[in-house]
Amino acid sequence: MHVNQTAQYALRALMHLASLPDGSTARARDLSQASGVPPAYLSKIMRRLVTGGVLRARKGHGGGFVLARRPDRIRLRDVIEAAGGGLERDVCVFGIGRCDSADPCPLHHSWSRMNEAFHSWAQKTTLAELRPGPRRRRVRARRGGGHR
């Protein structure tokens, strides 16, 4: 159920794109500044998202990145997987390899329910649902990218 830093950064950048009018492009440097993601790292992430079919890249004057589909058609699962974040289901929370119902770790059953709920959420939730609205706060970049 872990979403790695690359996927977190991808989600931040895409939230910025999703907040723009449909079909708008954004340059990598503007996305980097808006999301707080280091430019070189964001460039690699954006290439992954283009390859994964989440974004399109436009070259030339007025170019940049644009969502490949409407925000209501881009699931968080699509973003996480395209960014290389992976949504592994069978990883043991204790880090002892894979565990399953036949050979469970002490937390397997409760972890499995929570993990399944996360996968279901990522499958159902789209970028459109996470767009900043009048009652939602915008995602703000933290310096250092670490956890609190």
CATH number, position 104: 1.10.10.10
Q: Does some domain include residue 21? A: yes
Q: Does some domain include residue 141? A: no
What pLDDT does 125 receive?
95
Q: Does some domain include residue 135? A: no
Q: Does some domain include residue 22? A: yes
Total structural domains within the chain: 1
Domain interval for residue 95: 5-130
- Report residue 143's pLDDT band, with 50, 70 and 90 as the boundaries: very low
| 47: number of Cβ within 10 Å | 12
CA contacts within 13 A on the Cβ side of 33:
5
Q: Does some domain include residue 148? A: no
The overall pTM is greater than 0.85? no
CA distance 33 to 19: 15
